[in-house]
Every structure is written in structure tokens, then in C-alpha cells.
Amino acid sequence: MSTYQEDIKALEGVIGGNEFWNEIRPEAAARMRQQNKFKTGLDIARYTADIMRADMAEFDKDKTKYTQSLGCWHDFVGQQKLISIKKHFGSTKRKYLYLSGWMVAALRSEFGPLPDQSMHEKTSVASLVNELYTFLRQADARELGGLFRELDAAREAGDEAKAKEIQDKVDNYETHIVPIIADIDAGFGNAEATYLMAKQMIEAGACCLQIENQVADEKQCGHQDGKVTVPHADFLAKIRAVRYAFIELGVDNGIIVARTDSLGAGLTKQIAVTNQPGDLGDHYNSFLDGDVIDGADDLANGDVIVKANGKLLRPKRLASGLFRFKPGTGEDRVVLDCITSLQNGADLLWIETEKPHVGQIASMVNRVREVVPDAKLVYNNSPSFNWTLSFRQQVFDDWAASGIEVSGYQRDKLMSEDYDDSELAIEADRRIQSFQADAAREAGIFHHLITLPTYHTAALSTDNLAKEYFGEAGMLGYVAGVQRKEIRQGIACVKHQNMAGSDMGDDHKEYFSGDAALKAGGADNTMNQFG
């Protein structure tokens, strides 16, 4: 017996046991249960954590089984992404959602658009997690509602084979609910604040939280200058705070992504506490830039000194009070950050780089794996990179190093359309196309994401529509540029009433009012124009 039939049978007993529930239909109630599998955000977090853990284990065995996501700044956008994935690929397996703090700040702040500096409201990410899952649950309800209507039609037609086929689809239904990796930025304050915010995100449904080692009150976008990191002890306290939040809420297998911005960070907020030579604090301080001095006579008023390697070091301090790191130490600091995070409770790593270069990422990951063999990365395939220029320059440099003739190309002008059909550009595009597979295989990248794609697609599509609709094309700009494409590409949202839940509303009217139901889905509904 199917789960659906089991629900009906169980509800027959529940409903039949109350003499005043005679108008309550067991099958209708069973359908509503099927359409609402997840009752709370914690149900979602536990379910998706299991999925993500299974995917991580599969990746450890087979590096072709990497995962992917797109950053979505709006509930509807996230919903449409998952609907499209199911339509085009038949399954959501290894397809996640990423929730970027950058997009929350830029697009969802009550203050208006903000830079990515931990300035948006502390509850806004959790609110978006909740909204996304509300829309994904609605996508389930909508799709299952369509199957139930098809089942009724097959029964009315006496088509038992068709009815069985649809029943099988119901019984084997794949939900739109997928893991969300939620950006908790630098933790917004101290470890206690991080813990409280993490709880909100987990309660909303997030099974995976990403936290970075920048200073909360000095945080910058990962692809901008001026990044400031914290000593490991400060960062580890926040990782532990997030883990406690997961455990408290019963999501014991929740996932923590530890991000390091050390590659691009030349500053630290403070000097680390150290108790003995060679400990973690001492190691952190060894990267400080400064001058070796002989004694107090070499000090100016307010100078700070550190004892390192048996010598007195006067770290270079800015007017802001921040301390400089030695130039060229970024990769070494990244490796130390990664090993330390994994050895202290993090599950995955995020190394923020300045360019998408497989060799660069692999060189750091391989060093980490010498200590933690199963280290895995989440990586930002960032729109902040100029992918075309970066990869064309990589090909140029590789060819020049191997003796291939490159005199016909100007390295600093490779973005030009003049090169679009060249052998170099074709090779660069091939490498971009295979970047995810190559980086997963060679650099241990388990999850590939793009932080801001829907930010850019919204801008691009709106620009195209505005140019046409307000220009000479007029209404044809919308019809040819949007609606006609929706119809021919089979985009479900062309029936926007249905997408918003009109048909589900009709179903519920029938459940609640029977023959007295006033339905919207009659012959005069304009949705019928779309098939």
C-alpha cells in the first residue's frame, strides 16, 4: 500500500471516529498532508542536513559528484530556480540554494541598499530562509495539487492504467526542498550574538551556515580591499557557538562552513594571545609585519611590542589601530586557518580568492590535505571575477610558458571582441566550461556556488524589457521578449494565477464548501489561453 493510501486509511479511522466530522473527506485531508510534508523549519533543517551529509560522503568517493547552487535574494526567485531544475533535469539531487549576506544587504535591507559590511538587520537572513522555504513548500503543494487533479480526471474517465501511473508519481514525489547554505557573515558581534542569530537561521530551516574570519565591525566584501581578520581563538569561539546552536535545536548533523579571507586580508584587528612558543597565538603573531628592536630605547610613545622567536618585534600599526601582516604571507595564513578550523569543528572550507584559478586553489588545498586528508571546499564562482579576461590571460600565460606563439595577442586587451573567435578565446571558454569539474577533481571543491547571479539576471532582463517596451517595439517588446518565450520554453509561470496558488485555492474551496464552491478555474479563466 502506498503512503498516500496509508494516509487515507489512517484518516478514515480518525475522521470516522467523530460523528460530527461527516463532511470531512479522508482523501482530501490526506492530500493536504501530502502537500505539507514539512511542518516546521527544524523538520527541514534535519531533512536537508541528511541530504548534504550524504552528498559529502558521496563526493569523498567520487569527485565527479560535486554539488552546485545559485544565490537567490528573493523567495520567488529561489522557487522558480528549483522548478526550472526539476523541469530540465528531472531531479534536484546535488542542487542547493545559497543565501548571500551581500544580496541581503544590497536588496533586502530596511535601510535601503547597503555595502556588504555586516550592516543589514541581524534577522534579515533568517527571514529570507523562512520565505524561501515557504515558497518551496508552496511549489510542492502546487505540483502535487496538479497530480491530484490528474488522478481525479483519470478516475472519472475510468482509465485505471493512467490512474496508477499518476499514483506512482505521487508516491515517488521529489520535493523542491533542498539544502540552503546561509551566510552568517562574520557573526555580527560576539560569540553570543552569533549563537542567537544561528538559532534563528536553523529554526527557519537552514542546515548549513557559512561564517568568515573577518572582524565583524570591520567586515568587507570578500572581493574588496580593506579586509581585517581575527586571531583563531576569536573565530573558533564563533564556530563553537554555531555548533552549540545546531545541537541545542536537535540538528546534530548540521554543517558549518569556515571561510577564510586571509588571502586578501593584509590586516588584523589585534595581536593574538600566546602562552608559549609555537602555540596557535604565537603562530598567528609570527605573520605580523614589524621591526625587530633591541629594547625600550627603540620604542616611541604608545608602541606595542611582541616577543617572537626570542626577539622583540614592534608590529606596524596603522592610525586606525590595526596591525599589518607581512606581505606574501596570505597563502600560509589561509592554510593555517583551514587546518585550524577543520580541527576545531568546521565541516567544510571556503577560501576566498581574487581569481578563479584551479592551480592556485589546489596548491593551498593540497597543503591542507597533508594534515586533514578529506578536506573539502565550498567555492564562490563569483560574478566579481571577470571570467572572460581571467581565463584568456591564463591561457595566454600557459601558452607563452610552453612555447606556443602568442605574439598575435595583446595580453592586457584580451577582453576585446576582436579575439572572440580566436583559438585562445575558444580554449579559454573550454576551461571556463570545465572549471567546476576540474576544480572538484583537482582542488577538492565539493560545492560550487555563484553568489549573485540572480542579482545580475534581474538587472539584465529588466533592462531588456524596459528598452523594448518603452521603445519602438511597444507591447511587442513584452510579447516577443517575454511571454512568447515563456510559452515555448514551457515556463510554468506563464500561468501566473496557477503559480500563485489559484488552482490550490479551488481545491480547498471544494474541500471546504463542496458543491457550493465558487471556483476561479472555469471556462472564462484566461489561463486557459495558455494550454
Q: Report, as residue numbers or ranges, the catalytic residues.
A: 221
Measured between alpha carbons, how far is residue 104 from residues 135, 179, 204 in Å? 17, 18, 16
**Residue at 186: amino acid letter:** A
- 323-324 β-sheet, strand order: 228-229, 267-268, 323-324
Distance (Å, whole) CA 118 – CA 220 = 8
In DSSP notation, 77-145 reads HHHHHHHHHHHHHS--TTEEEEE-HHHHHHHS-TTSS--SSS-S-TTHHHHHHHHHHHHHHHHHHHHHH
Measured between alpha carbons, how far is residue 455 from residues 27, 85, 301, 451, 462 in Å? 42, 19, 49, 9, 11
- 311-315 β-sheet, strand order: 290-293, 311-315, 306-308
Q: Are strands 348-351 and 228-229 parallel, antiparallel or unpaired?
A: unpaired
Q: Are strands 208-212 and 255-260 parallel, antiparallel or unpaired?
A: parallel
Instruction: Name the DSSP letter for residue 451.
Output: S
Chain-centroid distance, C-alpha 239: 19
Distance (Å, whole) CA 477 – CA 486 = 13
Measured between alpha carbons, how far is residue 446 from residues 75, 186, 202 in Å? 25, 22, 22
Instruction: Name the DSSP letter for residue 527.
Output: G
Could you tell me where the DSSP H helices lie in 307-375?
330-342, 358-369
Distance (Å, whole) CA 145 – CA 31 = 8
- Is residue 424 within 8 A of residue 41, CB to CB? The reply is no
Residue 329 C-alpha cell reads as: 604571507
Cβ–Cβ contacts within 10 Å for residue 72, how many? Answer: 25
Please state the φ and ψ torsions of residue 323, each to the nearest 5 degrees. -110, 145
Q: Are strands 323-324 and 267-268 parallel, antiparallel or unpaired?
A: antiparallel
